[in-house]
Amino acid sequence: MQIQWDSRFSVGNVQIDSQHQQLLSYYNQFSEACSKGTGKEEIVRLFGFLDAYVQEHFAAEEALMEKADYPLRPKHKVAHMDLKRTVAELRSQLQGDSVP
């Protein structure tokens, strides 16, 4: 399922919005590769990028939220942890490991 960026996703921060757009772009490439059965190597390559980028993006976003004393920071961090857990489960499935 493709997700197209639109203004409702904007958080009003150029750096974070740009990162979100990049994440969506790679998510869409990953989703397309999965649906077309492009081959495990391509899927693993795209997922590897997504996995690393999610970690990098969340660290940057959480640092900005901390600096701005963003009031919903704790709730947002929980959402990040949930998504990191989902990514870890997908990584395990791609590697043929059992899901934790």
Residue pLDDT, tens place only, 87-98? 888 888 877 754
Q: For position 97, what pLDDT does the model report?
A: 52
Sign of the torsion angle spanned by Cα atoms 72, 30, 100, 88: negative
> Which residue matches tokens 């740009």?
18
Nearest to 22 by CA among 54, 44, 48: 54
Nearest to 51 by CA among 12, 32, 23, 81: 23
> Which residue matches tokens 């690393």?
52
Share of the chain above pLDDT 90, in %: 24
The answer to whether 14 touches 61, Cβ cutoff 8 Å, is no
User: Which pTM value belongs to this model?
Assistant: 0.66
> Which residue matches tokens 């901390």?
66
pLDDT tens-place string over residues 20-33: 898 888 888 888 88
